[in-house]
Structure 1
Amino acid sequence: MYSAIMKRMIGELRKSLESQGFHRQSKIFSQHGLHAAAEDAPLILVACSGGRDSLALAYGASIVCPMLGLRCGAILINHNMQEHADIVAQHASDQCLSMGLSPVAVRSVTVRKTGAGEEADAREVRYAAIIEYAKQTEAAAVLLAHTLDDQAETVIMGLLRSAGTQAIAGMPAVSTKIDVPFLRPLLNLRRCDTTQICKDAGIEWWDDPTNGDDMDTLQRLPVEYPLRSRIRHDLMPFLDEFVGSDVAALLAGNTKQASEDAQCLDAQGKALAAASILEESHERNQETLDLDVMELEKQHVALRRRVIVIAMNRMGIPVSSRHIEAVDQLIVHWHGQGGVNLPLGFSANRQDNVIHLCKDGGHANR
């Protein structure tokens, strides 16, 4: 018999999978008994870190995927950033295998500093490795274990780092990166729920020292531990006490409408980007991208800013609201001012009715 919270996770998982067309593969899977998935059935991968959230998700997926006749595997990324990280990854891999997941793979990666911050650098290399494995195995989708608590923390981080609808939209329930679908089925569950599921199932999880519940460990950490960890352990408890209610639930509860609004604006922004990005070059020492001012200046500011974000993302430039606003000023309030200095040695310069995003020293008109 499953507990109430386990039944809820099963329901959320089924809803997430079925929303993307992963229904029962045949009538046999509605009958009692165990039925093996076909060799060519869609493969669903769980992105597992060895933490309580992702191991609870792996456990739930090991139940739900067979119900639907889907194959279920896992990919674990060893960032090599914590002591004994290889042991943690192998232990999590062994637990996934014991749940019946197959294939299960561990990929070791190297996180290089880019100036975007340790968490962002780790996320970038992690997604790249997950996408590579998903394509290698022809996976139909990848499951991510973000919870309602993660969603609330993401909203706060978005508000601190940027502005606008996207900041309060949080993480989408479904997204696509380089043609790989990513699903987040646990956005309506709490971290305490995944903790209880692991305890009930006898699953041993690992806590990153900055993310766990051991206050003795936290007190021994340096003051400058990661922003998300400071939000989780310092800010959220203070906000709960200050407001007198569950702030995480309040923040996460507002993301659905904001996400729908953002998706509508993003679609229009992509169409405008296709019309206003004139030229893009990534030749050696000549990284440039040109924007058509005449096309952009007549558009609403919400769409202009989305095009700027798209352009900066294509060039690999970290995005902040301050830089977006500065580039937008070159479009609508240009009076011959100089260029805008951007992160990683990039700059934005206006010449006549064209804005050049380029690497410093790499543009002929500097």
Structure 2
Amino acid sequence: MAYSSRLRKAVGAVRAALADIGLERQSPQFSQHGEHKPLPDAPLVLVACSGGRDSMALAAVAQIVCASLGLRCGAVIVDHQLQDGSGAVAERAAAGCRNLGLDPVLVRRADVRDSGKGVEAAAREARYRELCAVSCDAHAACVLLAHTMDDQAETVLLGLLRGYGLDMVAGMPATTVREQVLFVRPLLDLTRDETTGICEEDLHLAYWDDPTNGDSAEGPLPGNYPLRSRIRHDLLPAIERFTGSDVIRHLAGNARLIQADKAYLDSQAERIAACSVTIIGENDSDRGVIVAIDARTLGREPRAMRLRVVAHALNQASVEASAIQIEAIDQLMVNWHGQSAVNLPRGYSANRKKHVIRVCQDRAHANR
């Protein structure tokens, strides 16, 4: 079969992403013509597949690449059970992956519980929880995610609308680790139009469009649609009409540059935190995590680094503080005049005593 330019691009992107994490050709025989089965103990690459156009294209391309390298390639389909017929959609996606030759193909049913952050966020957490569990059970080398350039641009705009600071406009990294599972996004340089073309014209793959994405809607989406869907169908097209330029490519390219800056700042923050922050305990313990910050040591650093170190320390304690709360902790550090504690989510607060700022749950402060 002759490959189109977009299919060649996708194959090259997946091959490069696997090479970046050390997954190369397992044996010279896989460079020869003909079909060669991977060894049973060959590294396993899992594709997170929803049955949508992006993930079906990724599943097909990943199978092509893994077969040429002697890697095993499987898929995980997570049924969030949020819509009528979701089980049937998951089974169709699984059947499509099996038809492509992926093995194993596993369907997991997630328990989505909204803890106050919204159903979309709860579904994402449930999805990652299932993907991590399957990957660990299968000893997979990595899990591939089908985020595209369009998704990257939408993520940047979401960050601009929901948060503050450099990290909020850095978008999604090419690789990330959650619960010791390596997640890889090989399609960040491909557009949704290209994955659609791979499915419809190159490989003739059936796919499913999630109705909450609004892909079949005509005109502006109502306010009850997820914000990401309204960004996709209303905001981004409006910006493109206004500027007359390829905004998606611009936002995604800018995110790539910002990620390089973020990586450097994060490395500096880790170096500084090693000398100024102590984290005690586990998130699932009765007392939770206690974060102790040496205010004198960290207070000598530039403000940008102080804020970053505090934000990272709170993240390690699973405390999702706002920018205002992080700045209030910074004031405890550099402008302390006996002010009261900074209240934080999940019953945590930040108190200063002498030169130490302690972040812990309120019941733990009694023992400080």
TM bin (shorter chain): over 0.9
CA distance in 1, matches of 2:42, 2:4: 29
Q: Are residues 1:17 and 2:18 paired?
A: yes
Counterpart for residue 229 of structure 1: 229
1:5-40 deviation line (CA, Å, top 9, x unaligned): 111111111111112221111111111111111111
Residue in 1 that maps onto 2:356: 354
Tell me what 2:35 maps to.
34
Do residues 188 (structure 1) and 197 (structure 2) align?
A: no
Q: How many angstroms apart in 2 are the aligned matches of 1:210 and 1:35?
A: 41
Letter of the aligned partner of 1:244 in structure 2? G
> 1:234: Cα distance to partner?
1.6
Name the SS of the counterpart of 1:149 in structure 2.
helix
The equivalent residue for 2:334 is 332
- SS of the aligned residue for 2:212 comes to coil
One-letter code aligned to 1:185: P
Q: Does 1:211 align with 2:213?
A: yes
**Matched residue SS, 1:223:** coil
Aligned to 2:107: 106
Structure 1 position 350, deviation (Å) = 2.0
CA shift at 1:62, angstroms?
1.2
* Residue 304 (structure 1) aligned to one of 303, 306, 315: 306
* Alignment partners' CA distance in 2, 1:24 and 1:279: 41
Residue 261 of structure 1 deviates from its aligned partner by: 1.3
Aligned residue number for residue 244 of structure 2: 244
What's the offset of the Cα at 1:355?
Answer: 1.7
Please name the residue that 1:47 is paired with. 48
Cα distance between partner residues in 2 of 1:140 and 1:300:
39
Distance in 2, Cα, partners of 1:39 & 1:232: 42
Report the Cα distance in structure 1 between the residues aligned to 2:214 and 2:363, rounded to whole angstroms.
45
CA-to-partner distance for each residue in 1:322-341, whole Å, 9 max, x for gaps? 22222222222222222222
Q: Which amino acid aligns with 1:260?
A: A
TM-score by length of 2: 0.93
Q: Write out per-residue CA displacement over residues 242-275 of structure 1, whole angstroms, 9 at most, x where no aligned residue.
A: 1111111111111222111111111221232233
Alignment correspondent of 1:288: 290
**Displacement of 1:59 after TM fit?**
0.8
Q: Distance in 2 between matches of 1:288 and 1:207?
A: 44
Runs (5+) with no aligned partner, structure 1:
none
Helix, strand or coil for the counterpart of 2:365?
A: coil
Matched residue type, 1:82: Q
Q: TM-score, normalised by structure 1?
A: 0.93
**What letter corresponds to residue 172 of structure 1 in structure 2?**
P
Paired letter, 1:248: I
The structural deviation recorded for 1:314 is 2.0
Native 8 Å contact 1:286 1:363 kept in 2: no
**Contact preservation (8 Å) 2:214, 2:233:** no
Change (3 A) 1:319 1:119: farther
What secondary structure sits across from 1:290 in the alignment? Answer: strand
CA offsets 1:266-317 (integer angstroms, 9 cap, x no match): 1221232233223423441555322221221011222222222222212222
Distance 2:297 2:158 in 1: 32
User: 2:288 and 2:46 mapped to 1: Cα distance?
Assistant: 39
Deviates more, 1:94-103 or 1:169-178: 169-178
Shift of 1:143: 0.6
Q: Please, which moves more after superposition, 163-172 or 186-195?
A: 163-172
Post-superposition CA distance 1:188-207 (Å, at most 9, x none): 00111111111122222222
Aligned position for 2:269: 269
Residue 48 of structure 1: how far off its partner (Å): 0.9
The answer for unaligned runs of 5 or more in structure 2 is: none
SS of residue matched to 2:231: helix
Residues 150-184 of structure 1: CA deviation (Å, up to 9, x unaligned) = 11111112222333332222111122223222111
Q: In the alignment, is the contact (CA less than 8 A) between 2:276 and 2:297 conserved in 1? A: yes
Name 1:150's counterpart in structure 2. Answer: 151
Q: Equivalents in 2 of 1:161, 1:324: separation in Å?
A: 16
Equivalent residues of 1:116, 1:318 under 8 A apart = no
2-side partners of 1:155 and 1:286: how far apart? 32
How many residues matched? 364
Residues 55, 146 of structure 2: 8 Å contact kept = yes
CA drift of 1:365 comes to 6.9
* 1:146–1:186 CA contact under 8 A, matched in 2: yes
| Equivalent position of 2:170 in the other structure | 169
Partners of 2:278 and 2:359 lie apart in 1 by 11
- State how far apart, in whole Å, the 1-side matches of 2:308 and 2:210 are: 35
Once residues 301 and 195 of structure 1 are traced to their aligned partners in structure 2, the CA distance between those partners, rounded to angstroms, is: 45
Alignment check: 8 A CA contact 1:144 1:183 kept: yes
Alignment partner, residue 77 of structure 1:
78
Quick one: distance in 2 between partners of 1:356 and 1:13? 45
For the residues of structure 2 that align with 1:274 and 1:111, how far apart are their CA atoms? 36
- In the alignment, is the contact (CA less than 8 A) between 1:142 and 1:183 conserved in 2? yes
Q: CA deviation at 1:362?
A: 4.5
- Secondary structure of the residue aligned to 2:156 is helix
Residue 210 of structure 1: SS of its match in structure 2?
A: helix
